[in-house]
Structures are given as C-alpha cells and as structure tokens.
C-alpha cells in the first residue's frame, strides 16, 4: 500500500505570493479518465488567480456549501471543465499555528486522495492545490462528479420515489458497491473517522444499472493504519447508524450488506444474525450518544 506520495506536480506561480501545484502529465495518466485533458498551464494560472481573488466571479460559479468551517464552490475552467473547489477555515490561534507549520487541511486532503486512488478506492480526483508558505489555508480543486447524490439524500428522497421493482434493483447494486468499498478500505487498512451516508456519493443512481458507482468523500477524516490498528467495525457502526432513520433502508438491506462482508466459506455465514443484532445495538447506542452530545448531556449529566 502506498504511504508516500508518488505523483509529480507542475508548479505554477500565482499572484500575491501564492503557488499552485497541478498534477503532471505522468500523474494524470495514472488517474485515467479522472483528469481533464486539454487544460494548459495558462488555463490553470487564470483560473487559480481568479479563485484566490474573487471566487464568485468564476465562470459557472455555484456555492455548494458555506459555513464557519469553510466553503465549497463549483466552477468551470476554460468554459468546459467543471470542478469543485474547497477551502477550510481554521479556527483558533493555536490551530492556525499548527496548520502553518504542518500544512493546511487542503494539502492533507490532496495527499490522502492521491493515496486512495493509488489503492483503487474511488474518490474525487485531486486536480490542483493552491497554497502559500506559512498560510493556514488554501484551495483544493477536485473532480466534479456528475449525476451524483450522497446516500443520505438517496435514502431520504430518491429511493422512496422509485417503484418497488426499481428500488429493489437499485438497492441490490448499492449494497454490492458498498460491500466492495468497505472491503477495499479493510484491505488497505484505511480508517474513515466519519464513515456515514452523507460522506458517500453514488453516481448514475437513477439508472439502477451496473454503471452505478460509489465514491468516498470528506477525505479529511481518513487515516492509513497498520492492520493491527484498523478499527473498521467502528466505521460500519457509523454507516449503519446514519441509515437507521430512513424507512427506505430495511433490516433486510442491512443484513444483506453484512452477509456480503462475511467470508465466503460456509462456516462463517451462520454468524451473520447475531452479528446483525450486535451491530444494530451498537448503532443505536452511537445515535443516542450523538443526541446527548448535541443536547450537552454526556454520560447522564446535564
């Protein structure tokens, strides 16, 4: 498993002391179709300078998220390539000092995404990183995933609207794809601290065919660990906890996901029922702790 960054970058000097690192031609070929062809350094120079000065003036600008923790926007490069741009806001003087010394969140997400892709785990391809020496924040520019929806929204709105036969077909594909994703994470000892439905995107979901693909997002919460350190059971608990509230996700669906994650030999299949009961209990306990945390009631204290 690659723990070091092997991709090479083209360095582009921007205005006001900022720099951009764009994946080189060799690294683009490793990403296959995940990197837009035909973009020159001049395209990147123009786009990145506009991004750091006035993002709202970019072609195709759309605000996807804005909060006290940062912003996410959609924009278009050279009138043809759609991208997603992310910037985190580091709160607190101590955290800003750490970010200046050890690198911004955007740089870490950029590096993690390249590792995931090298492991064969689907995530939005990192196109470029805008950074400045000793700056606590920058911009991360990634692939825009067309026709995508997170599993949270899919369970809330898309699945309930489908006819029963189509819903069953779509859920069959999703369960298979989720099992493959979780198996890949376990194989490469990847731990996602916030592995929940809203951090998994599905593309071409409505078609319900084999083109459906699931993508891992929010790479900030990802850690690469040794085999003895990989608490992936906790990740599965978080995923199940995030889906329990939706009527479109049944216990049968969760049972089928769990069975697909079991080893193929017959001796293990008989254990999926008690494992499901244990998983549901842990997921309910996790949700209860989350509710107490949000209402400032921890361990029974007000």
* CATH number corresponding to 148-294: 1.10.510.10
Instruction: Identify the pLDDT of residue 298.
Output: 46
Domain extents in the chain = 9-143, 148-294
76-120 tens-digit pLDDT: 998 888 999 998 776 556 555 555 555 677 888 888 988 898 888
Terminal Cα distance for the chain, rounded: 46
137-163 tens-digit pLDDT: 789 999 999 889 999 999 999 999 999
Residue 259 has pLDDT above 60, yes or no: yes
CB atoms within 10 A of CB 86: 21
* pTM higher than the cut 0.85: no
Quick one: what percent of the chain has pLDDT higher than 90? 33
Q: What is the average pLDDT across 261-281?
A: 73
* Backbone phi, psi, residue 148, to 5°: -110, 155
The answer to whether the CB of 14 falls within 8 A of the CB of 49 is: yes
201-228 tens-digit pLDDT: 999 887 666 678 999 988 888 888 876 5
Right CATH for 9-143 from 3.40.50.10320, 3.30.200.20, 3.40.50.920, 2.70.210.12: 3.30.200.20
Q: Strand pairing of 81-88 and 222-224? A: unpaired
Q: Strand pairing of 200-203 and 148-150? A: antiparallel
The answer to whether the CB of 243 falls within 8 A of the CB of 254 is: yes
79-90 tens-digit pLDDT: 888 999 998 776
Q: What is the radius of gyration, based on Cα positions, of the chain? A: 21
Residue 117 tokens read as 């892709």
Question: In whole angstroms, what is the distance from residue 263 CA to residue 268 CA?
Answer: 6
More confident residue, 192 or 271: 192
Of the candidates 176, 245, 178, the one whose C-alpha atom is nearest the C-alpha of residue 216 is 178
Instruction: Identify the pLDDT of residue 293.
Output: 78
């Amino acid at each position: 498993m690659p723990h070091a960054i092997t991709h090479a970058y083209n360095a582009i000097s921007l205005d006001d002391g900022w720099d951009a690192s764009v994946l080189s031609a060799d690294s683009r070929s490793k990403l296959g179709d995940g990197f837009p062809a035909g973009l020159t350094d001049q395209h990147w120079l123009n786009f990145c300078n506009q991004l750091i000065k006035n993002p709202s003036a970019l072609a195709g600008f759309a605000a996807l998220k804005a909060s006290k923790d940062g912003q996410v926007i959609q924009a278009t490069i050279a009138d043809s390539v759609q991208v997603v741009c992310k910037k985190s806001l580091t709160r607190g003087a101590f955290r800003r000092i750490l970010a200046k010394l050890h690198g911004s969140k955007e740089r870490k997400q950029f590096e993690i995404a390249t590792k995931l892709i090298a492991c064969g785990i689907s995530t939005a391809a990192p196109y470029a990183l805008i950074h400045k020496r000793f700056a606590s924040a920058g911009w991360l520019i990634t692939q825009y995933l067309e026709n995508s929806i997170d599993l949270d929204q899919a369970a809330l709105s898309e699945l309930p609207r489908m006819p029963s036969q189509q819903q069953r077909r779509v859920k069959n594909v999703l369960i298979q794809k989720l099992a493959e994703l979780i198996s890949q994470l376990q194989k490469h000892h990847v731990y996602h601290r916030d592995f929940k439905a809203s951090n998994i995107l599905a593309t071409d979901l409505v078609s319900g065919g084999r083109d459906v693909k699931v993508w891992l997002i929010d790479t900030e919460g990802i850690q690469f660990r040794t085999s003895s350190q990989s608490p992936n059971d906790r990740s599965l608990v978080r995923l199940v906890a995030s889906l329990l509230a939706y009527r479109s996700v049944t216990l049968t669906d969760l049972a089928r996901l769990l069975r697909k994650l079991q080893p193929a030999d017959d001796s293990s299949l008989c254990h999926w029922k008690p494992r499901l009961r244990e998983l549901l209990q842990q997921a309910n306990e996790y949700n209860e702790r989350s509710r107490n945390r949000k209402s400032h009631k921890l361990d029974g204290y007000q």
